[in-house]
Amino acid sequence: NSVGEACTELKREYDQCFNRWFAEKFLKGDSAGDPCGQLFKRYQLCVQKAIKEKDIPIEGLEFMGPSKGKTENSS
């Protein structure tokens, strides 16, 4: 299931698309194209909305995309 109940079906659709592409194309050497990109974007927007609605703190997490103005730590 997804973080937002409304997003679960989108997650399943994306997972199916990705798994099909990975098995039928990528593993056979065909990495061209992005057949699941639009599904992923729809799912990502749904998850972002659910996180805001549930007021889930995500500070410090970068899974939602690159942070603008992020400083690199050169330890």
Residue 62, pLDDT score: 57
What pTM does this model have? 0.69
Q: What is the Cα–Cα distance from 45 to 38, expressed in whole angstroms?
A: 11
- pLDDT tens sequence across 15-56: 999 999 999 999 999 988 889 999 999 999 999 898 888 887
Q: Is 54 helix (H, G, I), strand (E, B) or coil?
A: coil
pLDDT at 65: 53
Position of tokens 């990705």? 18
Look at residue 42 and give its three-state secondary structure: helix
